[in-house]
Structure 1
């Protein structure tokens, strides 16, 4: 079995792959104040609850955009399973053209692009990741990384609005009945959901105009299913896309 860990700014996703599928996935808060020992307790409990023995895990891969947590998680993977995890970096094999990978490209986005090019090797693909940051990563049919656009994520935008205003409530993001809200909750949802749908569609169209080619668009991340119908340009919703990219990188190295 393979254990894959995607360390993000808000959450850490831990998933276990066996055979041809992901059999378990867990999401925990990213907390840089936690000690290595505290993360050990959390990871051990997750494995025990899933009835996964230490001997079951034979490979591990980690991607991280939070350097302060990388060492703690890697150490605990070794302590739990006695294996050295593969750390995703720009030096690992991804089947992308290495010279085109931007130096600042995050490891999660690298996994997204590697998986996109693997699944659609002859197409220009954009991966939209609806996370803490909303990212648009594009790779062409030759495996060259064209670049990335970044905006605040939907939840980040809502939290910013809630934190900076006295009378607006914190809301659960969902598609409102109308673009013209009659309550605070509907008004915020209208502005965020329809506004971000327009942002996403605009980035897709502007990218296509710039590269002169139609994009195949993959959406992943927490709110991808909610927003995609409003965009109308999403070809595929792939909730496990980043994890699939981590497995691919593990297989290639």
Structure 2
């Protein structure tokens, strides 16, 4: 079995694959102060609680945008699973060629999503990830990572809103019944959700226009992406497990034969 780990700014998402079958998924908050023992015990318990024998995990691959957690996390995998993990970084085989001005600045999470979307859906493809940041990445028909757009995530925007405005409360981010809000909470929800929908439609259409890839498939993943995908026609596919699938695909390209 293969353990895949996606370390994001807000959460660490994990999955266990048996072949191409995703047996289970788990999530924990990203906290830099965890020790290797805390990581190791927590991950092992999560796996076991899903009825998966942790001793059957024979390989691990990690993509991370939080370098500070990698020493403890890597040590945990070695100590508790007896495996040296593959880390998605420069030089690893992905099947995607990055042609931006500085390829090393492209986050590993974006590369993994691009690999997953291109492998599963072909190109050209525009990949959206609704996370701490909302990212829009363009992969050409020949598998080249051509361009990317980075915007604040929905929750990040919300936290800035109520964090900087003393009179605005912290709210649940859901789509209100109407954009014609008549009180504070639904007015904030309308601004955040419909604002994200409008941003998504404009950026996707603009990327298609400027790239010339008017037939590009649009694939979305991440947190609140399901809510946005349900409200707009510009998103063709929503796949909550896209990043985990991309990690499995990259592992298959790099595993020792």
* 2:217 is aligned with 1:216: yes
For 1:60 and 1:38, the matched residues in 2 are separated by 18
Map residues 90-101 of structure 1 onto 2, 5 A cutoff: 90-98=90-98
Task: With the length of structure 1 as denominator, give the TM-score of the two structures.
Answer: 0.95
Tell me which residue corresponds to 2:140: 140
Tell me which residue corresponds to 1:49: 49
For 1:115 and 1:50, the matched residues in 2 are separated by 25
By how many angstroms is 1:142 displaced? 0.6
Which has the larger displacement, 214-223 or 31-40? 31-40
For 1:70 and 1:102, the matched residues in 2 are separated by 21
Which has the larger displacement, 173-182 or 34-43? 34-43
By how many angstroms is 1:108 displaced? 0.7
By how many angstroms is 1:95 displaced? 0.8
Tell me which residue corresponds to 1:66: 66
Map residues 13-28 of structure 1 onto 2, 5 A cutoff: 13-28=13-28
For 2:144 and 2:23, the matched residues in 1 are separated by 32
Tell me which residue corresponds to 2:241: 240
Which has the larger displacement, 128-137 or 169-178? 169-178
By how many angstroms is 1:246 displaced? 0.2
* 2:173 is aligned with 1:181: no
Aligned length: 252
For 1:199 and 1:130, the matched residues in 2 are separated by 12
By how many angstroms is 1:97 displaced? 2.0
Indicate conservation of the 8 Å contact 2:14/2:244, yes or no: no
> What are the ranges of 5 or more consecutive residues in structure 1 without an aligned counterpart?
none
Map residues 86-165 of structure 1 onto 2, 5 A cutoff: 86-98=86-98, 102-121=103-122, 123-165=123-165
Secondary structure at 1:222 match in 2: coil
Which has the larger displacement, 128-137 or 46-55? 46-55
Indicate conservation of the 8 Å contact 1:60/1:83, yes or no: yes
Secondary structure at 1:230 match in 2: coil
Task: With the length of structure 2 as denominator, give the TM-score of the two structures.
Answer: 0.94
Indicate conservation of the 8 Å contact 1:224/1:237, yes or no: yes
Please provide the CA RMSD for this pair: 1.4
Tell me which residue corresponds to 1:252: 253
Tell me which residue corresponds to 2:3: 3
By how many angstroms is 1:98 displaced? 4.9
For 2:99 and 2:190, the matched residues in 1 are separated by 42
> What are the ranges of 5 or more consecutive residues in structure 2 without an aligned counterpart?
none
Cα 1:233–1:99, aligned 2, differ >3 Å: closer, same or farther? closer
Secondary structure at 1:103 match in 2: helix
